[in-house]
Amino acid sequence: MVRKDVPEYPTEPLKCWDEAKALRRKYYEDYLTAKEKGGIRWAGGAWSFSAIPEGLGDDVYCITSEPYGATIAFFKEFAMKCQEATEAAGYARDLCAYMRNYWGSELRDEYILADGRIVKGFPLPDFIWQDHICCSHAKWYQVVREIAKKKHGKDIPMYCIDVSVGPHIPRLHDELTDWRLEYVTKQLLDGIEWLEKVTGRRFDDKRMIDAIYNEMRSTSLWAEICTLNANVPAPLDEKTMYSLYVLGTLMKHKKECVEFYEKLLAEVKDRVRRGIAACKHERCRIITDTQPPWGFLSIFRYLEREYGCVSVGSLYTFGLIGMWEVKEDGTLGPKTVPPKSALKDRETAVRMYAEWMLNKPEWPHFFNPRVKSDLLIKIAKQWKLDGVALHYNRGCEGLSVHITQNRLDLLRAGIPVMVFEGNMGDEREFDMPRTLARFDMFMESLGLSKIKKE
């Protein structure tokens, strides 16, 4: 419920903020220096079952494509150079912005670290381990291979798992059948044999099982953290959450991620207990949708500062990494982690891992927009929202697919909706003044005027 008065909540920075930043910095540095440590590198999407290559040893380093593309996007000058390099190579500028950033980095043979330092020499992976759900995913890495071959004469082996088997949200919309689960499981099991063949390493099932269990825990923990944002005032805001959820996109299979999210959960619970707010004057609560325009995250601060409007998350922030389930009472909550003993052998663990991943809330909309609409409506009620801001993200067709239909469903459910056009990774397609003007109009439509400054 929108407040006309201007409340004043206590705020304080997150204690674990610096640790989150340090973990992310180390991740990109570790990938760069992997060879110096005698390790191996792989590249693939943030969703590509990263626990499985962990079975190859404790010196396996990965770079997940979308977060790297987003990192580039945050540093606009470098992003522009990457996009121009990609366009000069003959690729259209309406293609996925993350992908173009990534290719550009490879074409320029430059690698950017989390703090913006650019180093010479794009660190090529030893193999590609990818999953495919949007039209670009697998083909992204076809081009990565082709660039590597042209520029460095290196042919990088590639394996890709098709996960397009339909929505799997039990108690809401579930089309996962035995044969669909078997299809994904079989690809993963075949993939393990492929990994052994291309790396020459013996696969360690126990290491993989540990990694799968870590992933289940970290993704459930992230969901649990997100549920705390249903409190008023919200202890976290979405812009802050981006720096926290990203660890799940990089290393959800790692023990460090589990430990960090456990720490974060405790801290956020404490903030709730003490009524610590992310937004000092929280008067209005919204969520967004799809990736944000990474180079323009200041729009969140604008809303908080000018209107006391806090974005408490999004299906993207909650469900890209977080694993959820619909509880018996119909609410959304963290997915129940099975006991580790249930992951008793390779086949069982891989099957359970496949089911776990296929439950991802950010996947159903690829097949049926109504499932996402139902999830958004649940979030709106449970997180006590006043409205939804949909980012018509020209940089990502995958997460924007069906978005206009979601808009219709939200409106028909009586939820105020605004839309703004933009691009998560290409600043040429984002108009800041126009976007702010749209947000101003939306706030006005919700009955809010700007907070008067003293």
Partner 1 sequence: MVNADEILNEFKEVVEKRHEYAKAWKERTNGKVVGYFCTYTPEEIFYAADNILPVRVAPGHALEGMGVVEPYIYSMFCPLCRDCCAQGFLGRYDYLDGICIGQSCIHMRQAFNAWRHYMKEDRGKDYEFKYYIYVPHGVQNPPAVPYMAAEVAEFKRAVEKWIGKTLTDADMDKGIKIMNRTRQLLTQLYEFRKRDDPPITGTEALYTVLAAMYMDKREYNDKLEQLVKLLPDRKLDRQTGFRLMTLSSLNDHVDFIHKVEELGSTVVIDEQCTGIRYFWGEVPEKPDRMMAIAERYILKRIPCPAKDWPERWRLEHVKRLAKEWNVKGALYLQYKFCDPHELDVVAVRDALNEMGIPMYFLELDVTVPWGQFRTRVEAFFEALGGIEELF
Binding site for partner 1 (CB under 8 A): 89-92, 94-96, 128, 130, 132, 134-136, 138-143, 145-146, 158-162, 164-166, 177, 179-180, 182-183, 186-187, 190, 366-370, 392, 394, 397-398, 400-405, 407-408
Q: Chain-centre distance of CA 199, in angstroms?
A: 28
Pick 60 or 97: Cβ nearer partner 1: 97
Q: Which is nearer to partner 1, 1 or 92 (CB)?
A: 92
Residue 136 Cβ, how far from partner 1 at the closest point, in Å? 6
340 vs 370 by CB, closer to partner 1: 370
234 vs 403 by CB, closer to partner 1 = 403
Q: How far is the CB of 396 from partner 1 (least distance, A)?
A: 10
User: Which is nearer to partner 1, 71 or 400 (by Cβ)?
Assistant: 400
Tokens for 302, please give them. 């604008």
Nearer to partner 1, 196 or 259 (CB): 196
Nearer to partner 1, 50 or 136 (CB): 136
What is the closest distance, in whole angstroms, from the C-beta atom of residue 387 to partner 1 in the complex? 19
Nearest approach, Cβ of 40 to partner 1 (angstroms)? 19
Strands 158-162 and 127-132, bridge-based pairing: parallel
- Can you read off the two tokens belonging to residue 345? 């052998």
Strand-pair category, 324-326 with 332-334: antiparallel
Rank residues 77 and 190 by Cβ distance to partner 1 and give the closer one: 190
State in angstroms the smallest separation of the CB of 183 from partner 1: 4
CB of 30 to partner 1, least distance (A): 26
- Per the listing, tokens 């360690």 go with 204
**Min dist. Cβ of residue 161 to partner 1 (A):** 7
Nearer to partner 1, 220 or 423 (CB): 423
Least Cβ distance, residue 21 to partner 1 (angstroms): 33
68 Cα distance to chain centroid: 11
Q: What's the closest the beta carbon of residue 158 comes to partner 1, in angstroms?
A: 4
Q: Which is nearer to partner 1, 213 or 353 (CB)?
A: 353
8: phi then psi, degrees, rounded to nearest 5: -130, 110
The least CB distance from residue 451 to partner 1, in Å, is: 33
